[in-house]
Amino acid sequence: MKFFLDTADVAEIKEALSWGILDGVTTNPSHVAKTGRKFREVAGEICKLVPGDVSLETVSLDAAGIVKEAHELVKFGRNVVVKIPIMKEGLKAVKQLADEGIRSNVTVCFSASQALLAAKAGAAYISPFVGRLDDISHDGMEVAQQIRTIYTNYGFKTQLLVAAVRHPLHVLQAALMGADVTTMRFNIFEQLVQHPLTDIGIKMFLDDWKAKNLSIW
Ligand code: E4P
């Protein structure tokens, strides 16, 4: 399963890259706004920094506008995937862009039927927002599992990108269901590596080592 970081914060991306486990980045308009930087500056920097796929989101609500923005976004690099919200105009744009060989990540998805349409239109990725469903007492991972089943049933090439995850268990469940990608905020990357027994275990080893004044050299 690929690990994407869900952010537009370059410092977080550099840190995750240094761990050797980062496969790509997903941004959205809110993430970019939060940086307080100009979009073009942030997008350019992220696309150069990250060897894997970088999702950059469109903001138009009509197909012609989305396609025009997509043509501009792909100039940032060969790794750009155009993030497009699921809606009728979005589907038209996804289809047109797929015909041109431009990859899209269909976003703000909350149902398996939306995901089915995105795959039929030729999306490269589908992003169900599992945590936002959980936030309103629905089961987000159940929707992700339905998408996995439908895509497998029909051999769709669209990659399941589990998004809006809220905790490490979401990441584990995504891996168990065979999701292609999980995108997460930096704090979840950090939570994944942590375990209290690991901290205790390391401390015990070091205490025993120091107590006998041992040395590797
Ligand atoms: C996904 O691509 C979105 O950017 C993101 O996962 C939204 O998640 P949030 O609910 O944490 O904002």
Q: In the prediction, which pLDDT does 140 show?
A: 98
CA separation for the pair 175, 165 (Å, rounded): 12
Average pLDDT, the chain: 98
Give me the domain span that covers residue 197. 2-211
Q: Residue 100 Cα, ligand 1 centroid: separation in angstroms?
A: 27
Which candidate, 28, 30, 84, 76, places its Cα nearest to that of 49?
76
- What mean pLDDT comes out for the span 3-13? 98
pLDDT tens-digit map of 100-111 = 999 999 999 999
Q: Name residue 27's amino acid.
A: T
Which residue's CA is the closest to the ligand 1 atom numbered 8?
164
Residue 6 belongs to a domain: yes
Q: Where residue 203 falls among pLDDT bands split at 50, 70, 90?
A: very high
Q: In the prediction, which pLDDT does 59 show?
A: 98
Residue 216 belongs to a domain: no
Which residue's CA is the closest to the ligand 1 atom numbered 10?
164
Structural domains counted in the chain: 1
Q: In the prediction, which pLDDT does 107 show?
A: 98
Which candidate, 145, 163, 33, places its Cα nearest to that of 86?
163
- What mean pLDDT comes out for the span 63-89? 98
Residue 115 belongs to a domain: yes
Q: In the prediction, which pLDDT does 106 show?
A: 98
Residues with C-beta less than 6 Å from any ligand 1 atom:
6, 26, 28, 107, 127, 129, 131-132, 163-164, 183
pLDDT tens-digit map of 31-74 = 999 999 999 999 999 999 999 999 999 999 999 999 999 999 99
Q: What is the CATH number of the domain that holds 112?
A: 3.20.20.70
Q: In the prediction, which pLDDT does 178 show?
A: 98
Residue 170 belongs to a domain: yes
Q: In the prediction, which pLDDT does 4 show?
A: 98
Known catalytic residues are 83
User: In Å, what is the CA distance from 190 to each residue of 16, 55, 163, 167, 177?
Assistant: 9, 22, 17, 10, 22
* Residue 163 DSSP label: B
pTM of the model: 0.96
Share above pLDDT 90 across residues of the chain, in percent, rounded to a whole number: 100
Residue 217 belongs to a domain: no
| The ligand 1 atom nearest the CA atom of 31 | 4
Helix (H), strand (E) at residue 36: none
Residue 30 belongs to a domain: yes
Q: Residue 165 Cα, ligand 1 centroid: separation in angstroms?
A: 8
